[in-house]
Structure 1
Amino acid sequence: MQNFVTAMTSTIWFGYLARVVLTYMFWASGIAKLVDFQGAVGEMAHFGLNPPAAFAVATIVVQLVGSALIILDRWTWLGAGMLGVFTALTIPIAHTFWAMEEPFKTIEFYVVMEHITVIGALMVVAWKAER
């Protein structure tokens, strides 16, 4: 079984698939914001980011460029850093569980825990990419 797993995980296609899956939440969000730019602007305004159009553009660029760098395995450390910092910044902007009432407080707390886990995964990608 170990030989099968080693053989599978050492293929080029497995690496691409892993990087596509890891970055899915970012590139899917970036594409959705690109398709519905006015919705993206509204989302930025909802979170008090001004000017909202500039923040929408910056978000789209970070999500798509960061994902592409990881997927293509080019300057992977930079793409992982971009997405990791972006994810960390969403916590005090969009997931302020400490200022919410239950049951939303608990729901957002778990979202933050998931964000921290994604940041850790991006750190592993940056670490292993240069090896």
Structure 2
Amino acid sequence: MSSTNNVLILLARVLLSFMFIMSGFGKLADPAGTAGMIAGAGLPAETALAYLAGLYELIAGLFLLVGFQTRITAWTVALFCVFTGLVFHTGTVAIEGWPEGALGWINTLNQIMVMKNITLAGGYILLAVIGAGAYSIDARRGAATAIA
């Protein structure tokens, strides 16, 4: 694989890791919003699940950033994106006391979040298929073979 392709794979890993690192850190620092979404979806142990989601997102984001266990991590993140998109961002949002115009905006944003999650899943699947590239911990360990 050319060095240009390996630089582009590194850039893709950095960009694909950013959201998970920032989101995971945010959930660990203040899990209340996530716990509310989890409770709203009818799942139990909302605070514990919010912390677990934050920890997973932070660790997965860091693994992607440095290219460690990239193929496995990318597959799990792709599944996470589809799951969270379908469970937390489908359906109509109705918040008591909010004006109709604000709810319309929130519902539009929610639709965008579903599309974002599904689209990102495609990027993570591609990363799972091609691997971490030469500039990664996986490459140093001999586990980063990618499609030429």
Q: Which band: TM-score by shorter chain?
A: 0.7 to 0.9
Higher relative contact order, structure no. (Cα contacts within 8 Å, ≥ 6 residues apart)? 2
Match of 1:86 among 73, 80, 83: 80
Structure 1 regions of 5+ residues with no counterpart? 1-5
Moved more, 62-71 or 117-126: 62-71
The aligned counterpart of 2:16 is: 22
> For residues 32 and 104 of structure 1, what CA distance do their matches in structure 2 show?
21
Letter in 2 for 1:27: I
The aligned counterpart of 1:118 is: 120
> For residues 56 and 105 of structure 1, what CA distance do their matches in structure 2 show?
22
Matched, 1:47 2:41: yes
Q: Looking at secondary structure, tell me which structure has more helix per residue.
A: 1
Q: State the TM-score, normalizing by the size of structure 2.
A: 0.68
Q: State the TM-score, normalizing by the size of structure 1.
A: 0.75
The aligned counterpart of 1:71 is: 65
Runs of 4+ that moved beyond 6 A: none
> For residues 41 and 123 of structure 1, what CA distance do their matches in structure 2 show?
28
| 1:50 counterpart SS class | coil
Moved more, 114-123 or 38-47: 38-47
CA RMSD of aligned residues (A): 2.5
Structure 2 regions of 5+ residues with no counterpart? 94-102, 132-144
The aligned counterpart of 2:54 is: 60
Change beyond 3 A, Cα 1:105–1:38? closer
Q: Percent identity?
A: 27
Paired positions, count: 123
Letter in 1 for 2:126: V
